[in-house]
Structure 1
Amino acid sequence: MKLVVVSAGLSVPSSTRLLGDRLAAAVGRDVPAEVQVVELRDLAVEIAHHLTNGFPGKRLAAAIDAVTGADGLIVVTPVFSASYSGLFKSFFDVIDKDALTGRPVLVAATGGTARHSLVLEHALRPLFAHLRAVVVPTGVYAASEDWGAEGLDGRIERAAGELAALMRGLSTARVPARGADGFEVVPFEERLAALRA
């Protein structure tokens, strides 16, 4: 399986990237996955050019392919003006509106204060609901005081477990389910349609 982390952190080192890495590591403990990180900071110029001319550069096209081909996504943004960063939004603006339909997504954000934690519910979740992605129930927000404090690890593990479960569920949905006796399990609606034909 392929897990892609989209990080919109601007600094090096970045707490946004650190949160993405910790979430990816937690998902990897639950489900075997090849992890790829897309650093939006490195794609800023290509994203701007795509918005103005309609054509992605080579690195941006590769990033879009990675995101749209992933079995699961972790998206992490710093909070600017009580919302996701403009760079983060611009990246998802250049992706086809139907490309993330049904894709499991874990939303996360970082900020200087806990007062911005509702960005997950008021900005990130609606964005990915609009893109018809499947957003895991638990989002992870990390304020400056959360690093090294009690509670962040538990939120990371819970959210990662939810994403891993969705990724496992979607991968098994692609192959016919088989019971313990080896017989193929066919959904009732399919069996009924076959009988009517």
Structure 2
Amino acid sequence: MSTDRTLVVVSAGLSQPSSTRLLADRLSAAAARELQSRGHGVSVENVELRDHAHAVVDAMLTGFPTGELARAMETLTRADGVIAVTPLFTTTYSGLFKSFVDIVDPDALTGMPVLLGATGGTPRHSLALEYSLRPLFTYLHADVVPTSVFAATDDWAGEGDRVNPLPRRIERAGRELAERVAARRNEGPADPFANAPSFSDLLGSA
């Protein structure tokens, strides 16, 4: 029997249109196709951080998110899988992206399947995914898939080129995320009183 899965896509592009959002859409489409091939219904929720920039700063100052940002964060924590894509500036993730991550509950992504992506001007920035972005989500105890995807400006221009690895890498990463999302058991939060003795047990031992 098929079961629905929800993918939440967090993209931190600053412009419209954005190559960061384009990569995020390609990754979510690849993961959704793979999940559908396994018999799962799929819904994709997009969280465009550009739309929440002021609210993110407010949340950092006040200690809690409100309004649409609060709803976006609730959607994130209820996801079956997350795709997180950021532009790279000065060889690391954007300030907006890091600020958003900073206001996410530290336990919210524990065990969550996560696919990482990034965009930048030249391929020499691609290693930032491994030395900067991956450790960030490892710290949050997320289940980060092995394949991350970096797209440089020239990758988009050469998409029709047979030697361009970007389309194949997108498909592989999407497949890896789908495998983990499909296998993940959606368990509710643990009952903190599950192992507590009953009143009758307490009275009987008195």
TM-score, length of structure 1 as denominator length: 0.86
- Check conservation: 2:115, 2:177, Cα contact below 8 A: yes
Show structure 1 runs of 5+ residues with no match.
175-197
Distance, in Å, in 2 between the alignment partners of 1:82 and 1:66 is 29
**What residue identity is the alignment partner of 2:115?**
L
Distance, in Å, in 2 between the alignment partners of 1:152 and 1:112 is 15
Distance, in Å, in 2 between the alignment partners of 1:51 and 1:113 is 32
Q: Quick check: 1:163 aligned with 2:177?
A: yes
- Check conservation: 2:64, 2:103, Cα contact below 8 A: no
Q: Quick check: 1:40 aligned with 2:44?
A: no
Deviation track 1:59-78 (CA, whole Å, cap 9, x = no partner) reads: 11011101111000000000
Distance, in Å, in 1 between the alignment partners of 2:43 and 2:147 is 22
Q: Count matched residues.
A: 173
Distance, in Å, in 1 between the alignment partners of 2:68 and 2:48 is 11
Question: Following superposition of structure 1 onto structure 2, how do residues 62-77 of structure 1 map, counting pairs within 5 Å?
Answer: 62-77=71-86
Q: Quick check: 1:116 aligned with 2:120?
A: no
Specify which of 13, 22, 37 is matched with residue 18 of structure 1: 22
Partner of 2:9: 5
Shift in Å, 1:55: 2.4
Shift in Å, 1:151: 1.2
Show structure 2 runs of 5+ residues with no match.
36-40, 188-206
Distance, in Å, in 2 between the alignment partners of 1:96 and 1:122 is 22
Partner of 1:30: 34
Shift in Å, 1:5: 0.3
Partner of 1:89: 98
Identity %: 57
Distance, in Å, in 1 between the alignment partners of 2:111 and 2:70 is 21
Distance, in Å, in 2 between the alignment partners of 1:11 and 1:152 is 22
1:125 is paired with a residue whose SS is helix
Distance, in Å, in 2 between the alignment partners of 1:128 and 1:85 is 15
**What residue identity is the alignment partner of 2:18?**
S
Q: Quick check: 1:129 aligned with 2:138?
A: yes
Shift in Å, 1:142: 0.2
Distance, in Å, in 1 between the alignment partners of 2:42 and 2:91 is 33
TM-score, length of structure 2 as denominator length: 0.82
Shift in Å, 1:89: 0.5
Specify which of 58, 65, 82 is matched with residue 56 of structure 1: 65
**What residue identity is the alignment partner of 1:155?**
R
Deviation track 1:147-183 (CA, whole Å, cap 9, x = no partner) reads: 1242110000000000000001104x75xxxxxxxxx
Distance, in Å, in 2 between the alignment partners of 1:29 and 1:44 is 31
Larger radius of gyration: 2
